[in-house]
Amino acid sequence: MKKIVKICLVSTFLIVFSLVCFAGTYFLVSYIKFSHLELNADALTSPSLEIEVYDNDGNILEEENNFNSKYVEIEDLSEDTKNAFLSIEDKDFYKHNGINKKRILKAIYNNLKSFSLKEGASTISQQLIKNTHLSNEKTFERKIKELVLTKKLEKNFDKDEILEFYLNIIYFGNNCYGLESASNFYFNKDAKDLSLNESALLAGLIKSPNKYSPISHKENALKRRNLVLKEMEKDEKISPNDYIQNSSKDIELDLHKECGNKINTYSEASIDEARKILNLPAKQIAIGGFKIYTYQDSEKQEILNNSLASVDFQGTDYAGIVIENKTHGISAYLGNGAYKILDTKRQLGSTIKPILVYAPAFNENVITEETEILDEKVKIGDYSPSNVGEKYNGYISVKDAVKKSVNTVAIKVLSYVGIDTGKMYAEKLGFTFDEKDDSYALALGGMTYGENLKTLTNAYTTFANLGNFDDAVFVSHITDKNGKVIYKHKTNERMVFREDSAYLMTDILKETAKSGTARKLADIENTEIASKTGTVGKRSGNTDAYNISYTPDYAIGVWCGNLDNKLMSINGGNEPTEAVKNFVKNTKHKEKTFKQTSLVTTAKIDLLEKEKNHKIVLASPYTPDRYTSVCTFSRFNMPNEISTNFVELKEIEADVKRENSTAILTLIPEKQIKYDIYLNGEYYRTIKEKDEELKITMPLTREENEIKIKSSFSNFENSPEKEKEFKIENKNAWLKEQTQKQKKDKWYI
């Protein structure tokens, strides 16, 4: 047994020793290999850089996209500000020579345990090199390059210079590069005037600007800020009392509107996308001379700008985006707000209904356009949604429910489809859901975090493309400084809905634009248009308003709202729809009608069955046209039952009761049937076009009375007939008649 243990220990030692030798040799060889790498001083010190962004005609975009233009000197910053970054990012910054060996060993150990490269051990010097000289990929080769260049950095610059460079290039989110830019954006003040609380917030933000955003993830930002404060207390940079006072404070932002408008431009959105494509910081893209070519259509961009400017959004934030259906390229974008709108998820309201509810229901063959659903107050557990104004329509078709944006019907249809199925389709269209998003509130846009305008608008291109989807993009291709194409966008369409399902959704949304919640678009004549509005709010006001529309050529989405959820009076059917209308009316259209598909057909349905029994059945060949309607159906979900309303004449439902000298005839008529009533052989009355129970009072003038009812199809030649007779005795009436007759004969008495 001891021998086996000894062999195992020796084997383990040899394996570990071999791995260490291999790793050491690999590191040494790679270090020597990359030792020739040169430090680019311009990358560290350039105060202002610009990235060239071009439209689809090769013209440079004349939008301000420079960054790092505001520079702060290290001696102008408070000790609290400098210490906030040092405590959370690199406690030993002034002690090490650029590499923190203890942190590296700890990170290696943790990464070996997890079989990943998740944990880093970068010092501030290493982070500076990574952000100015290298890509963001996590490989050993990149790490070795980083170490080589970090050593050279430390030899050429002193610690204060390195810290100054670092604070002026790090990314704080919302296109804020450098501390001065971030301070101006988030707090509308210079970096030299930052308080302890504000400094801690910004220091915590740089680890993950999206995750710790004080705008969109306030709770995360608070926890991260307090962690920075706690580390400062541990390092004895602030007192325990300072920690207690500051950690209990709320986050108070003063977003700079002018800065926000600059970050909501087409060029800035394109740079953001290019950063992800190239896996490079924006500063490296600028230093490297990369050129970004986009799908922007300058004419559409100008029309969008004018369309948004022509609408009074009442001081709210707003944005508009235009996506070409065929290329999936974004041809125009503009936002107005003190934060990066495309990075912000908002509640979607009713705009989610076609995506999560109705299109999936068509695709699962759960509904047709004409399916009748009872619009009534619903309650599912503790969830009790209502329609706008507490108005309920009774039975209503799916088409009309979408047009009117009826909430209760959407919830019922989602219950037929299933929450997981609805989410599955939405996820295929780019939506992301939180694990808590598992209730029927999803049918009305009730998500934990919501979704952004780009993802929402792009989902609607799927209907115009007969069910095919691809991600929408700003960038068409990228070249290096020598003009060589290093990236080219390729479409990757995949089918999410069948052609018939997408066509039916468009068919309904076209009606929404004509006579539904988006009826402001009804007078558009230069193209077909489909539309859906959405409003998020409560009785006292709204927080978000949308119009998402699409034509055969493109989809356009307009949103307005307030980041702090301050209430407004705008709703989706008004200002956002007005902006869409202005854009569509002023834009040229190549295709003016939506794509057709052979997977849909039309058929006549029996309106009597729909009206009376809320069933969708085919009309028989004998059904008069006025009792039919021509409707559109998927060939996979056609009604298969044929109405018998004009095939078989139903038995007459009637009864008679005598009250004194009168008869009470009770008749339950059918709307399509005519009833001729006779009393004692003489015509008395005709009943037609009625479908509610009737009571008819008839005088009994004889001892033996006969009531006859003859039925036939209304306005139907050679209609079959049925009869029903009732005989009623009335001796009192006969005796009275005889007495009166005798009195009349004996006039002489």
Measured between alpha carbons, how far is 719 from 286 in angstroms, rounded to an integer? Answer: 84
Q: For 305-317, what is the mean pLDDT? A: 94
Residue 710 domain flag? yes
605 lies in the same domain as 479: no
Query: Which residues have CB under 8 Å from 151's CB, separation 6+?
Result: 97, 98, 99
Secondary structure (3-state) at 421: helix
- Are 604 and 515 found together in one domain? no
Asked whether residue 210 falls in the same domain as residue 327, the answer is no
Q: Mind listing the pLDDT tens digit for each residue in 712-729?
A: 888 777 788 899 999 998
Q: Which of 47-56, 390-399, 466-475, 646-655 has the highest mean pLDDT?
A: 466-475
Question: Domain for residue 13, yes or no?
Answer: no
> What pLDDT is attached to residue 23?
46
Q: Which pLDDT belongs to residue 24?
A: 46
- Flag whether pLDDT at 2 surpasses 70: no
How remote is the C-alpha of 682 from its chain's centroid?
69
Helix (H) or strand (E) holding 83: helix 79-89
| Residue 132 burial by Cβ neighbours in a 10 Å radius (0-12, 13-18, 19+) | buried
Q: What is the pLDDT of residue 62?
A: 78
Q: Give the number of other CB atoms < 10 A from CB of residue 742.
A: 9
Selection from 386, 383, 426 nearest residue 406 by Cα: 386
d(CA 635, CA 597): 11
Mean pLDDT calculated for residue range 745-749? 47
Q: In whole angstroms, what is the distance from residue 182 CA to residue 173 CA?
A: 8
Q: Would the pLDDT of 320 be above 70?
A: yes
Average pLDDT over residues 500-512: 97
Contact 347, 414 (CB under 8 A): no
Contact 496, 391 (CB under 8 A): no
Dump pLDDT digits (tens) for 107-135.
555 555 554 545 556 888 888 888 777 76
Whether residue 299 sits in one domain with residue 263: no
Lowest average pLDDT, out of 64-68, 199-203, 206-210, 678-682, goes to: 64-68
Same domain, 491 and 530: yes
Are residues 94 and 55 located together in one domain of the fold? yes
Burial of 94 (0-12, 13-18, 19+ CB in 10 A): exposed
Query: Do residues 341 and 473 both lie within one domain?
Result: yes
Look at residue 588 in the predicted model and tell me its pLDDT. Answer: 92
More confident residue, 122 or 21: 122
Bigger pLDDT: 389 vs 444: 444
Tokens of 711: 């039925």
Helical residues (DSSP H) of 356-470, grouped into ranges: 359-363, 398-403, 407-417, 419-428, 453-464
Q: Rounded to two decimals, what is the model's pTM? A: 0.78
* 356 close to 617: Cβ distance less than 8 angstroms: no
| Domain limit, last residue, from 264, 285, 306 | 285
CATH number of domain containing 694:
2.60.40.10
Give the DSSP letter of residue 352: G
Q: How many residues does the chain have?
A: 749
Give the pLDDT band (50/70/90) at residue 3.
Answer: low
> Is residue 327 domain-shared with residue 223, that is, in the same domain?
no
Name the residue with higher pLDDT: 488 or 106: 488
**Given pLDDT bands bounded at 50, 70 and 90, which one contains residue 40?**
confident
Over range 215-236, report the average pLDDT: 91
Residue 269 falls inside a structural domain: yes
pLDDT one-digit tens code per residue, 251-284: 998 876 655 567 899 999 999 999 999 998 887 8
CATH of the domain at 184: 1.10.3810.10
Domain finish residue from 230, 256, 285: 285
Section 228-244 average pLDDT? 93
In a domain, residue 403? The reply is yes
Contact 531, 558 (CB under 8 A): no
Q: For residues 531 and 307, is the Cβ–Cβ distance under 8 A?
A: no
Starting at the earlier edge strand, list the strands of the sheet with 704-713: 682-687, 673-679, 704-713, 721-729
Regarding whether 197 and 129 lie in a shared domain, the answer is yes
Residue type, 365: N
Task: Give CA angle at 688 (683, 690), nearest 5°.
Answer: 135
Structural domain that includes position 418: 295-585
- With respect to residue 590, please indicate whether it lies within any of the assigned structural domains: no
Q: What is the mean pLDDT of residues 465-477?
A: 97
Of 27 and 358, more confident = 358
Q: Are residues 425 and 411 in the same domain?
A: yes
Backbone angles phi and psi of 532, in degrees to 5:
-140, 135
How large is the average pLDDT for residues 291-300? 97
Q: Which residues contact 265 (CB under 8 A, 6 or more apart)?
A: 63, 64, 65, 333, 334, 335
Alpha helices in 122-195 (DSSP H): 124-133, 140-156, 159-167, 179-187
For residue 748, pLDDT beyond 50: no
Asked whether residue 363 carries a pLDDT value surpassing 60, the answer given is yes
Query: Model confidence at 22, in pLDDT bands (50, 70, 90)?
Result: very low
Cβ atoms of 237 and 87 within 8 Å: the answer is yes
- What is the model's pLDDT at position 30? 47
- Using alpha carbons, select from 508, 99, 114, 575 the residue that is nearest to residue 314: 575
Cβ(328)–Cβ(346) below 8 Å: no
d(CA 708, CA 721): 13
Task: Please indicate, yes or no, if residue 306 is contained in any of the structural domains.
Answer: yes
Crossing angle of helices 159-167/79-89, nearest 10°? 90
Boundary (domain end) residue, out of 233, 256, 285: 285
- Who contacts 649 (Cβ-Cβ below 8 Å, separation ≥6)? 673, 711, 712, 713, 719, 720, 721, 722
Element (H, E) at 113: helix 101-114
Q: How many CB atoms lie within 10 A of CB 42?
A: 9
264 and 386 in a single domain? The answer is no
Tell me, what's the pLDDT at 749?
Answer: 42
Quote the number of domains for the chain.
4
Task: Note the helical H segments in 441-598.
Answer: 453-464, 499-515, 575-585
Distances, alpha carbon 45 to alpha carbons 166, 175, 684, in Å:
10, 19, 104
DSSP string over 9-56: HHHHHHHHHHHHHHHHHHHHHHHHHTTTPPP-HHHHH-S-B--EEE-T
- Cα separation, 528 vs 506, in Å, equals 10
What pLDDT digit, counting tens, does each position of 381-428 carry? 888 888 887 889 999 999 999 999 999 999 999 999 999 999 999 999
The reply to whether 346 falls in a domain is yes
Q: What is the mean pLDDT of residues 639-667?
A: 90
What number of helices (H) and strands (E) belong to the chain? 24, 22
Place of tokens 């220990």: 9
Q: Tell me the mean pLDDT in the region 683-699.
A: 91
Q: Give the model's pLDDT for residue 26.
A: 45
For residue 355, give Cα distances in angstroms to 69, 239, 316, 415, 634.
43, 54, 27, 15, 18
Query: What integer best gives the mean pLDDT of the chain?
Result: 87
Task: Say how far apart CA 709 and CA 121 lie, in whole Å.
Answer: 96
Q: 695 and 562, same structural domain?
A: no
How far CA 522 is from CA of 303, 405, 449, 510, in Å, comes to 20, 17, 33, 9
Q: How do 394-397 and 468-469 pair as beta strands?
A: unpaired
Q: Is 593 within the bounds of a domain?
A: no
Identify the pLDDT of residue 65: 59
Distance CA 437, CA 441 (A): 8
Paired sense of beta strands 52-54 and 291-294, if any = parallel
